[in-house]
Amino acid sequence: MRPFSWDDLQFFLAVARTGQLSAAARKLRTNHATVSRRIDRLENALATKLFERNPRGYLLTSAGEKLVERAEAMEREATVVESDVAGAATSVSGVVRISTLEGFGNFFLADRLPDLAQSLPGLSIELLIIQQIVSLSRREADISVSLSPTGTGSHHCEKVTLYRLFLYATRDYLENHPPVRRRSDLAAHRFIGYIEDMIFTPGLDYHREILPGSRAFYQSSSIHAQLAATRKGLGLCVMPHFMARHYPDLVPVLPKEIHLDRHYWCIVHQDVAYTPRIRMLTDFIKTQARKAEDDFHGQALLT
């Protein structure tokens, strides 16, 4: 093995993440011939084959997969060093678009992000709240808050918090409908939930777990609309505790027996995970969630 250029690792990572010379070249603002030459040079220096070339693109060999882990660790350290050296001389700046699920966005982040924006005038925050999953790979967002970690190696995932969902109804509803003393009593009640054929992630398919085979008679793609219908006394609804706790008219139904555990995850592109603005937002989200742990966990309802 001969000495190699550290700079060649940037080319290696770009090809490993995109699988294409042309895509890597665009990312590095060079041409595909240069990328190909750098990969060949790195393989010759290491005396090993890092990619299998085929019509579909460049696929990592076992040696290449091992090198990715080490190269990414070096990349992260380089970013940290760059940030530390810059120190206070370079404040966090730029644009960060955060895509989040409606409940977490409207009932948690929306109350907290303005404080961060106020303290960092050089940082422009875009909060995207929609009932679907946006594509990080197409750069529709910089940070995505999701219910599950992505399975692809091009993304960096960090767990934000566990949160629990319970079954809720208004006091008036429960007083004027058949009592619910056990799970089987739920058959006499109507439910509010998501539109079945528009559930875009398994984590939102609550009824399949609580009442297999049942169907919500009032359905909406918006958890806010479901909340409104529940507070109108239309029926029972599964909702996160951190949302429902704000409404004294809502009562948990059989909380010890009926509850669901879910997790929120922060997902970002591996190549920007440790840039100052992304790191700032990710740490902020995790810190704020940790402060609100009791609201997310709803542990008091289980004791």
97 and 211, same domain (yes or no) = no
148 and 279, same domain (yes or no) = yes
pLDDT in tens, 39-73: 999 999 999 999 999 887 899 999 998 898 888 77
pLDDT, residue 212, reads 83
pLDDT, residue 61, reads 92
pLDDT, residue 228, reads 97
SS3 95: strand
Residues 6+ apart with CB under 8 A from 57: 19, 20
pLDDT, residue 136, reads 55
Domain contains 272: yes
pLDDT, residue 89, reads 39
pLDDT, residue 292, reads 95
183 and 144, same domain (yes or no) = no
Domain contains 301: no
64 and 210, same domain (yes or no) = no
257 and 208, same domain (yes or no) = yes
| Cα gap 90→257, rounded to integer Å | 52
CA distances from 114 to 74, 84, 124, 156 (A): 34, 26, 11, 25
How much is the pTM?
A: 0.69
pLDDT, residue 83, reads 55
27 and 167, same domain (yes or no) = no
168 and 258, same domain (yes or no) = yes
Domain contains 140: yes
Domain contains 303: no
72 φ/ψ angles, rounded to the nearest 5 degrees: -70, -35
pLDDT, residue 80, reads 60
Q: Of 87, 112, 140, at which residue does a domain stop?
A: 87
pLDDT, residue 132, reads 56
26 and 68, same domain (yes or no) = yes
Residue ranges for the chain with pLDDT beneath 70: 1-2, 76-91, 131-139, 151-153
| Cα gap 46→262, rounded to integer Å | 44
271 and 256, same domain (yes or no) = no
144 and 276, same domain (yes or no) = yes
175 and 246, same domain (yes or no) = yes
Domain contains 113: yes
Q: Of 57, 87, 117, at which residue does a domain stop?
A: 87
Q: How many domains does the chain have?
A: 3
Q: The domain containing residue 59 runs over which residues? A: 8-87
159 φ/ψ angles, rounded to the nearest 5 degrees: -70, 130
248 and 168, same domain (yes or no) = yes
CATH (domain of 124): 3.40.190.10
